[in-house]
């Protein structure tokens, strides 16, 4: 990137970005956040709001109420947190797990690993229960560890690193019956799937602006019982990540404690208005299921192999094996697909070569079929038969 004499930012010529910073071809982000958003949502970010102003306080209130409507939970509050989703996960762990207790984390993907890591770095007692990345978390293995030392359980609803859906209803039942409290990373499911925010076994549900809600990235939020938030006052040993304090301050003043991502909040207000107008959670889930089906079908027709069996697949993102060819080169493949207007996601598996295609955002079954056609074209250009197996 360069600056012109007039001070305008420009990008180098070999980039697909033009001098005024707009992509030359409209790109579809097949990534699970940031994702493809609507023009209306992006335009809603084009207004400057004063964070202290009463209009912005009302906007915050509208957004939090909109999020609570989606959760359809009683006795629960929604607390926003500045930053990407991980900041909200870290805030939830540090606000709700008492120092006398500890966290069992069910790990079957990179986001589970991340939750365990952030809890360990925060100095908590942490026990990791690992499963293969193509197997769901077994609730009983987590429940067996609960007691005075381990009071909480952290799980990932949809492991976005593969697309696997963990069995949240069974986890909530089993953990509750064993006397534990569940911290649910529902980042890539909130808005599409039921996240059980007021289940008696659930302590906190975490999500963010830029995933299934189709807002812009930059704001996380946590759903938790008002009672739990009040009980957690003074517990968190981080100033900025203290959800109990953020909640108390918002209740008292209508304001965020520190500078809010005003433009992101405004875009989320628009995204939520559109979400509810389009038919709410059922409509959003149906749309993603249709995308997911079209994607799986087109990929199978091309000859790609899915990493997950269909019954474990969430309608959010799919992982495919790379064909077994010496010519496989993810970055060349990525660029060939990008040249046709689609942004893919690299695989996150450590042993097998894979790539991921998201099916959430402002995309349709037609987008999915076009993306698979572009992927097929890229394989042709690379001289790779997509049906080849390792
Ligand atoms: C996106 C996501 C997060 C948050 O990741 P950030 O990079 O902080 O946005 C956490 N958990 C899951 C399951 C996710 O999909």
Q: Does residue 33 have its Cβ closer than 6 Å to ligand 1?
A: yes
pLDDT score recorded for residue 350: 83
Does the reported pTM lie above 0.85?
yes
- 211 Cα nearest atom in ligand 1: 1
Measure Cα distances from 339 to 3, 25, 197, 331, 381 in Å.
26, 8, 42, 12, 12
pLDDT score recorded for residue 1: 46
Q: Does residue 187 have its Cβ closer than 6 Å to ligand 1?
A: yes
* CA of residue 87 to ligand 1 center, whole Å: 9
Contacts of 378 (CB under 8 A, 6+ apart): 333, 336, 337, 340
- 160 Cα nearest atom in ligand 1: 15
Mutate to test the pocket of ligand 1, among 82, 208, 214, 220 (most ligand atoms within 8 A of CB): 208
The Cα–Cα gap between 216 and 27 comes to: 16
Tabulate helix, strand, coil % of the chain (nearest 5).
40, 20, 45
* CA of residue 10 to ligand 1 center, whole Å: 30
- 109 Cα nearest atom in ligand 1: 13
Q: Whose CA is nearest to atom 4 of ligand 1?
A: 85
Q: Does residue 160 have its Cβ closer than 6 Å to ligand 1?
A: yes
Q: Does residue 188 have its Cβ closer than 6 Å to ligand 1?
A: yes
- Tens of pLDDT, residue by residue, the chain (390 residues): 455 555 555 444 445 555 566 655 679 999 998 999 999 999 999 999 999 999 999 999 999 999 999 999 999 999 999 999 999 999 999 999 999 999 999 999 999 999 999 999 999 999 999 999 999 999 999 999 999 999 999 999 999 999 999 999 999 999 999 999 999 999 999 999 999 999 999 999 999 999 999 999 999 999 999 999 999 999 999 999 999 999 999 999 999 999 999 999 999 999 999 999 999 999 999 999 999 999 999 999 999 999 999 999 999 999 999 999 999 999 999 999 999 999 999 999 988 999 999 999 999 999 999 999 999 999 999 999 999 987
* CA of residue 66 to ligand 1 center, whole Å: 21
Residue with tokens 């912005």: 56
* CA of residue 85 to ligand 1 center, whole Å: 5
């Amino acid at each position: 990137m360069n600056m012109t004499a007039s001070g305008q930012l420009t990008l180098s010529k070999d980039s697909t970005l033009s001098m005024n910073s707009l992509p030359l071809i409209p790109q579809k982000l097949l990534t699970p956040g940031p994702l493809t958003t609507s023009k209306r949502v992006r335009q809603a970010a084009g207004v400057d709001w004063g964070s202290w102003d009463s209009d912005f306080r009302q906007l915050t209130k509208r957004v939090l109420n909109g999020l609570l409507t989606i959760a359809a939970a009683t006795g629960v509050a929604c607390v926003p947190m500045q930053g990407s989703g991980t900041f909200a996960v870290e805030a939830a762990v540090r606000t709700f797990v008492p120092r006398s207790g500890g966290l069992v984390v069910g790990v079957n993907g990179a986001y589970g690993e991340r939750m365990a890591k952030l809890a360990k770095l925060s100095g908590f007692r942490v026990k990791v229960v690992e499963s293969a990345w193509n197997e769901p978390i077994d609730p009983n293995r987590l429940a067996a560890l609960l007691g005075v030392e381990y009071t909480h359980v952290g799980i990932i609803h949809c492991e976005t690193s593969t697309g696997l859906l963990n069995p949240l209803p069974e986890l909530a039942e089993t953990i509750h019956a064993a006397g534990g409290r569940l911290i649910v990373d529902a980042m890539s499911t909130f808005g599409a799937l039921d996240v059980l925010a007021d289940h008696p076994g659930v302590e906190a549900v975490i999500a963010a602006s830029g995933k299934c809600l189709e807002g812009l990235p930059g704001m996380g939020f946590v759903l938790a019982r008002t009672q739990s938030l009040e009980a957690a006052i003074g517990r968190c040993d981080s100033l900025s990540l203290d959800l109990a304090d953020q909640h108390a301050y918002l209740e008292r003043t209508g304001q965020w404690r520190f500078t809010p991502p005003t433009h992101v909040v405004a875009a989320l207000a628009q995204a939520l208005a559109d979400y509810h107008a389009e038919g709410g959670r059922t409509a959003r889930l149906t749309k993603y299921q249709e995308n997911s089906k079209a994607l799986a079908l087109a990929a199978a027709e091309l000859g790609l192999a899915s990493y997950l069996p269909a019954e474990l697949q969430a309608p959010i993102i799919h992982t495919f094996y790379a064909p077994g060819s010496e010519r496989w080169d993810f970055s060349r493949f990525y660029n060939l697909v990008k040249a046709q207007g689609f942004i893919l996601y690299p695989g996150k598996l450590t042993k097998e070569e894979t790539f991921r295609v998201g099916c959430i955002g402002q995309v349709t079954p037609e987008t999915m079929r076009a993306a698979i056609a572009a992927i097929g074209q890229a394989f042709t250009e690379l001289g790779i038969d997509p049906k080849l197996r390792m």
